[in-house]
Each structure stands twice: as C-alpha cells, then as structure tokens.
Amino acid sequence: MKKLRLPLTAEDIASLHAGDAVLLSGTVYTARDCAHKRLFELLDNRKPLPFPLENAVIYYAGPCPAPEGKACGSCGPTTSARMETFAPRLLDLGLGGMIGKGEMNEETAKALVRNKKVYFAAIGGAGAICGNAVQSMRCVAFPDLLSEAVYEMQMKDLPLVVAMDCFGESIYRRN
C-alpha cells in the first residue's frame, strides 16, 4: 500500500499503476454533477473558480452532515461516468486527478494520459469508511446545493485504488 500526500508530484503520478492500493492524505475538493455545471459556467464566463484547479483533486462525493465529534458523516463516492463530459476539460486546465467510482470513458482516459494525471476509485458502499478519513471540511462554493456543494476537505489516509493511470491502463479493462 502506497501512502501519498497531496498535491501529487509528477514522480508520484508516474509511480502509480492501475490496481495499486493507496492511502491518500491532503486537500481534496468535492464536486458532483450540479457543482460541475456551475464550475463550467464560471469557466465559460471567464470568472475565477472557488478553488485553485492546478493539481487539485476532485472527489465525486456529497458529504453527509457530521455527527457530533466528527468532521464529516458518510462520504462515499458517486458514479464517475456522470462527470465524463467535464473531466477532460478540467484535466486539460490543470486538474491533478479525480476520485470516484466506476469506469470513465475513453476521452477521459486519453486526457489522463495526455496530462499525466490519475483517477482513483473509492470503495462504493463504504461511505462511512471514507467519511472517517475526513479530518476537516468547509464549504467553498455553492452552499445552496447542500451536500452537492463544493467542500474543501482535509483527508488522512483515504483508502483508494488507482483505477486509471497516466499510462492508459485501467482496472476496468485488464487483459
């Protein structure tokens, strides 16, 4: 199991291969479908994004409210295929990677290779485990979207698998 700290370096990404188990720590930003649409409205209107995109990692998740004594409630991944229309452009603009669940399309795979970035899979159905990795969180954009707002999260040892690497390999298309 590899322990990685965000932001990922080019060397970190080059060391990752589809199927590698990872414990990821550092800052991630949550964004689901509705938040992605708003991010693209900002980009299309040449307005600043609510977080620095360069080398950022977006977690396709909507955190549940935190129970007493915790930073976050359940925070499992959502289906990444819903973000396929957004991922290539964000990767081309400097996004460092994504976290979600399920396979993403060939256009996203090509953007990962072209930009030397990575897509991680979190464990679907294990939102409580993912939520336990959240050390702190704060809403940074679109609070009206509630759990689908953009949250900045500090993670400690979020368990992930490299789903698609910068070499074009994928756990979903193994030979």
Catalytic residues: 36
How far is Cα 59 from Cα 98, in angstroms, rounded to an integer? 6
Please name which of 2, 31, 27, 26 lies closest in space to residue 14, comparing C-alpha atoms.
2
DSSP letters along 87-149, please?
Answer: HHHHHHTT--EEEEBS---HHHHHHHHHHT-EEEE--TT-HHHHHHTEEEEEEEE-GGGGGGS
Provide the CA 108 distance to its chain's centre, in angstroms: 13
H/E run at residue 3: strand 2-5
Helices and strands in the chain: count of H runs, count of E runs: 5, 7
Whole-number Å distance between alpha carbons of 123 and 133: 13
- For the four alpha carbons of 27, 9, 123 and 112, in that order, the dihedral sign comes to positive
